[in-house]
Amino acid sequence: MPETTTNFDSGAYCATTGGVSAVKGADVLTCIFSADGAKLLAIEGEKSSKLSLSADTTSFSSKDSKGSWKKNSPSTKSWEMTLDTVMVKDAESNKAIRQAFEDGTALCVKQVYDDGQFTPRGGGMAVVTKYEDDSPSDDLISISVSLTGSGKWTWFDIDTAAAAKATAKPSNRTA
């Protein structure tokens, strides 16, 4: 699609350009490290993952602000991730998640692109805050997991120093 210019602000911005190189959800794998850190395990049976980042805000106003408009600035940040999988019998990643929930220990989570090189996308420490196992009589067993971040979610395309060190590849996948 050729670039077109709008009349918004005399065409100074809001130009649209052709095709976007969108990433399919199936091209992102969520992984966790084994408890001893020796292996990075892709979550077996992963159907979907959803990452949510949020920031609390601090509101303030002053006598300099006319018209009673308050100002906001970001303060404490947090992240959560939900995972939906189908049950894979004897899956090491599922056992590691259940064990972390049982022990109350954190998991090191890493997302990678399933591009043959397992290019790192992002990662952080999280605790398992919910584990649901749904076993209907007429369908596959599905597992839903909620993870709550414990510290920063690192985007590896922003923190290139961290990306350079994030070299572990899933041991249960082949390129």
- Residues 85-120: pLDDT tens digits? 999 999 999 999 999 999 999 999 999 999 999 999
Do the Cβ atoms of 95 and 107 come closer than 8 Å?
A: no
- How confident is residue 41, by pLDDT bands cut at 50, 70 and 90? very high
What own/partner pairs with CB < 8 Å and gap ≥ 24 does 67-72 have? none
Half-sphere exposure of 79 (CA within 13 A, CB side): 17
Round the average pLDDT of the chain to a whole number and report it: 88
Q: What pTM does this model have?
A: 0.82
Q: What pLDDT score was predicted for residue 71?
A: 83
* DSSP label at residue 170: B
